[in-house]
Amino acid sequence: MPLIVLPGVALAGIGLAATAVPAVAADRAGGSGTSVVAGAPTPAQLDGAHRAAGSAATLRVLETFFARDGLPPGRKGRLGPAQEAAAAEAADPRLVGETVPVYSLNPEFVTAASAGRTPVATMEFAASKAVDADGDTASVWTARVSGKWQVVNIATGSDETDYAARADAGSVVFREPQLNAWYRVADGRVVPLNEEARTSVGAGGTGLARYQRLVHQRYADKMPGSAYDEDGYAGGYGTGAGRARVAAPDAHADSGPTDTVPAAAGVGAGVLAAAGLAGGLWIRRRRLAGR
């Protein structure tokens, strides 16, 4: 597929590492005084993320994204310039709804000796839902880069905003990216929201303490700097060389085929500190399994 390159920073894979937003504690939904999330944004920060997601430059990238989206795999990149320009103009993308924080499993929670008071999740990026004239959707990811909000990724579909909407006043929604598992945590329990999460913790969910033991067993020996990471297996936990090869699909983060296209200005939001912040934004298209 032809590449769309505009100035920006490089996608280095979506993993669980540095938090993209200054930490604001969120002591809610954990039970027993546990902080459930770290890095919760302020309303002003989300406003900044929304402005970046809805900027004229981002909308131009979305036009091309929607123009190319939906082509069969064998025809990717086969639109002629005139066809692509016409399809992009007809796409007429716009943002709908609010920009929301997307929380992911906290590496400090994974490596902790026990759940304790360590937040289970940390903000990885903010997401905004975009829709085109045909009703197709995309998720625009934004993160703080060098002190300002920038678009870091665009993904087919609207999982990020859809799942975030399933949180209520007493709960927080977060994801375990390696499994594409989405959970809601409230009153000290981790409740599954999709099939991957049900496979992970059971249909009835589990307590935070047991969930911490599960993820500790899964990932504690696969963190950046571990032998697993240094040997290049699956890029380690989230920032190793394997995940830095941005054109390679990540079978754990997505449950369906993906293709990647560089676009406007981005990084894997969870690995901003390790990304080197150079290059062009990579658009990540993914087809996720049904919820």
Report pLDDT digits (tens) over 23-76.
Answer: 333 444 555 455 689 989 999 999 999 999 999 999 999 998 998 865 544 454
Predicted confidence at residue 284, as pLDDT, reads 53
Sequence letter at residue 124? E
What does the longest C-alpha to C-alpha distance in the chain come to? 60
Distance of CA 52 to the CA centre of its chain: 16
| 211 within 8 A of 220, measured Cβ to Cβ | no
Please determine, for residue 269, whether its predicted confidence score (pLDDT) is greater than 90. no
Please determine, for residue 140, whether its predicted confidence score (pLDDT) is greater than 50. yes
DSSP summary character for residue 40: P
DSSP summary character for residue 264: S
> What average pLDDT does range 270-280 have in this prediction?
30
CA distance 277 to 271: 10
Predicted confidence at residue 89, as pLDDT, reads 82
> What average pLDDT does range 169-191 have in this prediction?
94
| 103 within 8 A of 177, measured Cβ to Cβ | no
Residue, of 137 and 257, whose pLDDT is higher = 137
Burial grade of 271 (CB within 10 A; 0-12, 13-18, 19 or more): buried
Alpha helices in 97-249 (DSSP H): 107-111, 159-164, 195-201, 208-219, 227-230, 241-244
Predicted confidence at residue 115, as pLDDT, reads 85
Please determine, for residue 234, whether its predicted confidence score (pLDDT) is greater than 60. no
Contacts of 149 (CB under 8 A, 6+ apart): 45, 48, 49, 51, 52, 126, 142, 143
Please determine, for residue 227, whether its predicted confidence score (pLDDT) is greater than 70. no
| Relative orientation angle of helices 56-68 and 81-91, to the nearest 10 degrees | 120
3-state helix, strand, coil in the chain (%, to 5): 30, 25, 45
Predicted confidence at residue 109, as pLDDT, reads 94
Q: Please write the tens of the pLDDT for every residue from 79-115.
A: 677 877 888 888 899 999 999 999 999 999 999 988 8
Residue-wise DSSP of 28-60:
-SSSTT---EESPPPHHHHHHHHHHHTSHHHHH
Taking all residues of the chain, what is their mean pLDDT, rounded to a whole number?
Answer: 73
CA distances for 45 relative to 49, 146, 210, 228, 276, angstroms: 6, 14, 33, 36, 23
Q: What is the pTM of this model?
A: 0.71
CA distance 82 to 84: 5
Please determine, for residue 128, whether its predicted confidence score (pLDDT) is greater than 50. yes
Please determine, for residue 173, whether its predicted confidence score (pLDDT) is greater than 70. yes
Distance of CA 53 to the CA centre of its chain: 14
> What average pLDDT does range 181-200 have in this prediction?
97
Judged by DSSP in three states, 104 sits in strand
- The percentage of residues in the chain with a pLDDT greater than 70, rounded to a whole number, is 61
Q: How confident is the model at residue 272 (pLDDT cuts 50, 70, 90)?
A: very low
> What average pLDDT does range 145-162 have in this prediction?
95
| 203 within 8 A of 194, measured Cβ to Cβ | no
Q: Is the Cα dihedral 282, 283, 289, 290 positive or negative?
A: positive
Please determine, for residue 161, whether its predicted confidence score (pLDDT) is greater than 70. yes
What are residue 173's DSSP bridge partners?
184
